[in-house]
Amino acid sequence: MNELIYNFAVWLDDTTYSAMLHESYYMYNWVESTHVLTLMVSLGMLFLIDLRMLGYAFPDVPASKIAERLNVPMLIGFTVMFVTGILLFYAVPVRSSQSVWFRIKMVLLVACAVNAFLFHKRMNESVSTWDVEARAPDRIRFGAWLSLGFWSIVVICGRFIAYDWLDCVRDQPAFIEFLAGCLDGQTRF
Amino acid sequence: MFTSMLGPHTRTILTASVVGITLVFYFTLMSDAYAWSFPFFEWMETTWFGVIGKTWGAAFAFVQTIHLLSLALLGGTVLAAEGRVLGFLLTDVSSKIVIDRCHVLLVWALVILISTGVFMACGVALKVYYLPVFWYKMLALGAGILFHFYVRRPLLRFDLEEINPMIVKMTALASILVWFMVAATGRWIGFSG
């Protein structure tokens, strides 16, 4: 599996546009800046929704209203982040695919998606009974805490990708090499 | 007592004075102040924050993450509040409620943003001292805080219907732009030097 990922990353790395994107100082920085600054739209809205469920924001506004109205800008933000995230991966595919932080981030993004699906499902099933209350029921609040926790760790991992502490190019403990998917004799990093 | 002498437009007059004094300072004493502040930036690197920031890259990166998360919260509150003022977000909720509730969260986000920002600046004090974009960010941050507390807040205490719609829209757009400028210049510090 790791070999397959590595070969795919090397193939991406060899494409002209990957090199162009990586070597273009302004283009790469614009894409990365857009990825980071869109946090203000996507996570900003998500935080407001989660904080509403926890009773720390808009306690006097129905929870369903906050969730519905802020959902659209939040999804627009996540779409932009997704597209720019793919471009960032495309610019540095080999190193990114063998980054422990990137791998943890991807797993957590799946966890975030599952949590969001369950959160909305549970909310839609029961919201009529607690919509105007300042705090949502325990199950919904648990989902909101999970969402805040997962996304915070996603941002931490995203930030840590920039550092080379655990890169395959350095000597790493066997456990880290296993997590990162480092290959014996690999020539590209 | 002094402020009561200024009449009903106290905050506006004080803000205009601060902006005027800042501009005069900028064009006359800025180069001297830039030189005078050098020892302060040297001292910043010797503080606990500076030593921790320089020694442990992981600690620095972790604080950077908290900085980013608080920036996300700040951005969310600004967009929600200004989206309501501009009439494209939460339009079926009272504007006063949205503006007031967002203000509370914005203040919290700002406190975390500044605290973590001071820590980060201590870790790379001499680097940022020589970066023009750092000073642009400080100007943008100062402008954002002044604008939010002394222009936007007092203005939007009134009912939106009582204010000229063009002024309301310009205020909301200015707010989005100034906070975007703070975030964008901050991001650009990472690419510079």
DSSP B1-18: -TGGGGGGGHHHHHHHHH
Q: Is residue A143 part of a domain?
A: yes
Residues of B whose CB is below 8 A from A40: 71-72, 74-76, 78-79, 183
Q: Is residue A147 part of a domain?
A: yes
Number of domains in chain A: 1
> What does the pLDDT average to over B104-129?
94
Q: B31 to each of A40, A62, B37, B163, how far by Cα in Å?
A: 35, 53, 10, 41
Q: Is residue A146 part of a domain?
A: yes
CB contact under 8 A, B184 and A33: yes
Q: Is residue A188 part of a domain?
A: no
ipTM here? 0.91
Q: Is residue A23 part of a domain?
A: yes
Which residues of B touch chain A, with CB atoms under 8 Å apart? 57-58, 61-62, 64-65, 68-69, 71-80, 83, 89-90, 92-93, 97-98, 101, 105, 180, 183-184, 187-188, 191
Closest listed residue to residue B137, CA positions, set B184, B86, B97: B184
- Residues A90 and A94: their CA atoms lie apart, in Å, by 9
Position B27 pLDDT exceeds 80: no
Q: B153 to each of A16, A113, B6, B103, how far by Cα in Å?
A: 51, 37, 19, 9
pLDDT at A171 (0 to 100): 81
pLDDT, tens digit, 9 for 90 and up, residues B89-114? 999 999 999 999 999 999 999 999 99
Going residue by residue through chain A, which has 189 residues, state the pLDDT in tens, using 9 for 90 and above. 888 898 899 999 999 999 999 999 889 999 999 999 999 999 999 999 999 999 999 999 999 999 999 999 999 999 999 999 999 999 999 999 999 999 999 999 999 999 999 999 999 998 889 999 999 999 999 999 999 999 999 999 999 998 888 888 888 888 888 888 888 777 777
Domain coverage including residue A106? 2-180
CB contact under 8 A, A160 and B187: no
